[in-house]
Structure 1
């Protein structure tokens, strides 16, 4: 079915629920856009996504943001009567078992990473200014730029002193000579003091 054929069918009759294949018309972006348009034009219609995109998790997020009430992967148990009934009952975030497995694994990994980060913060005595300094170094800020941040009450000299203190805390005694800002940031990432997925600058 093409996109135009889909909209022609919608003109004939508005259904309560649509099982929408994201690969409609050979393009996943078309499926997401149809979902978005449906949520605007017919917010009462429940859209359940049916997709074989197993590895493209960003596409799942795009579909949910576009208004889909759930996602069924074309693997495992496929679509069940329970899934359909849940959608018709007005439930949201309806997923079949394969995608639930992925969600739970992601959640588990996120919790473990947060726990490791907290452990590293405690073990290496990292305060909020240490974290803020390291995070902005990782984002390519210079010491001068970091000193000008609203939440940073230190000048460049104080930041240089703080950097030396961080080097002494994060590196063993025999590895501290010649450590620059880049190596310090890499070490902070290795120790999970910084999370690569959460490197965002402060509001300036």
Structure 2
């Protein structure tokens, strides 16, 4: 992200306590890094602020366990409309392998067609939920429709793009940032953005 000249704002605990300040419309992209712990839901005012910003053109990046919060824990009632996948289970796997399905897609710039994560992660077995979505990369071990990375482009309607990656980035704290390909992938989500806010769970979620 630093090499992409991105101005980064990290909100520690924002997944549970973001109330709408700072205003999400200040940013080009919001990234949600929810961990697999669902004790506290995000305040409705915070959820509405993110949705309003997306409707006004701000991008949103979701990692797991976003879909789990919506469909299994009955949380994120307002943010549910931004969730692109529906989980029917989960598994802890040694490594997750992504395979690109859309040639020359900007989310896959300079990445190998197929790569396997360095870190062991739990993952949802997901199915496409949102309409007008594109499967950019598959994950064979993710079951069902093999959802790896799903994109919904609403820019023609003046709304922000949504990227949903089936990778629980924060399951092992900040350890995912040792994975060059995953780090590059995260950066590509933001490469055209100038201001980014990251909702994380601890101070080292984005230590790179």
Q: Same fold judged by TM-score > 0.5?
A: no
TM value normalised by structure 1: 0.28
Q: What TM-score, normalized to structure 2?
A: 0.28
- Say which structure is richer in helix: 1
- The structure, 1 or 2, with the larger RCO (C-alpha pairs under 8 Å, 6+ apart) is 2
